[in-house]
Structure 1
Amino acid sequence: MAASPVKPPGPARPRSPAQRQGAWAEQRVLRLLRLRGWELLERNWRCRWGELDLIVQKPGRLLLVEVKGRRRDGMDGGGTAALRRRKRQRLARAWDCWLAAHPRWERTPVEQVAALVPLPPSRAPVRWIRLGD
């Protein structure tokens, strides 16, 4: 009897409405980045320190993108409140973890940005915020 082939796990399907909205926001950002010539390296990469939403590359450059989907520009500034010091520290630790797992990229310049994505029915543009050190 032939062994059945092992099927590699595909992307996890979002279950909750919030997860579906987050996946939609990430897909919107990824489409925009691809139109600008970026190539996807990782999506939703996880380690013990957290998750990296999107890691994209162009020759000689990396871009780490934290995606925040929001219904409206409310009390959290359309997602900016979710980018406070603690979140940035978690991103930095997760980034260090990713680099340890992918040493070929350790000398490549990286820029970290947040993409604040208005969710439907809004047609507002994505807001980009550079996450400085």
Structure 2
Amino acid sequence: MSNRGTQAEQLAAEFLVRQGLKLTVRNYRCRYGEIDLILQDGDTLVFTEVRLRSRSDFGGAAASIDSHKQRKLILAAQHYLTQLPRTPPCRFDAVLLQNTGESLEWIKNAFSAW
């Protein structure tokens, strides 16, 4: 991962922790893909995709989380959940950054798998 990508994930993690979420895993990797951040929001497990864009061409950061990317995130989340003793409530969030922190947008329930 690039230095800018690492910095974006750090900014997103710090922001979400300030919002009261608890960071549990960074960069969870499995054969299906990677989940940037996994956090706990009360009883809910939050799988978070962090997207950084320096330009808004082609729809910006949100548009880059297309159906193919969503499917990979869902499969990776399902893989992660197999390691837990019980399946908690879950959601998929997105944190969108423009120019490494120039602006940050948090989208709760960015998409649904269940």
Q: Same fold (TM over 0.5)?
A: yes
Q: CA RMSD in A?
A: 1.7
CA contact (8 A) 2:95 2:104 kept: no
Relative CO higher for 1 or 2, CA cutoff 8 Å, sep ≥ 6? 2
Q: Which runs of 4+ in 1 moved over 6 A?
A: none
Bigger strand share: 2
- Of 50, 54, 57, 2:37 maps to 54
Match of 1:124 in 2: 103
Letter in 1 for 2:98: P
Q: Distance in 1 between matches of 2:99 and 2:47?
A: 21
Residue in structure 1 matched with residue 92 of structure 2 by the alignment: 112
Matched residues, number: 112
State how far apart, in whole Å, the 2-side matches of 1:112 and 1:85 are: 13
Tell me the residue number matched to 1:63: 46
Gaps of 5+ in 2: none
Instruction: Spell out the pairing of 1:28-107 with structure 2 (5 A cutoff).
Output: 28-75=11-58, 77-101=59-83, 103-106=84-87
Q: Which has the larger radius of gyration?
A: 1
Q: Percent identity?
A: 29
- Match of 1:116, SS state, is strand
Structure 1 gap segments, 5+ residues each: 1-13
- Gap change, CA 1:23 and 1:105, over 3 Å in 2: farther
Q: TM-score normalised to the size of structure 2? A: 0.87
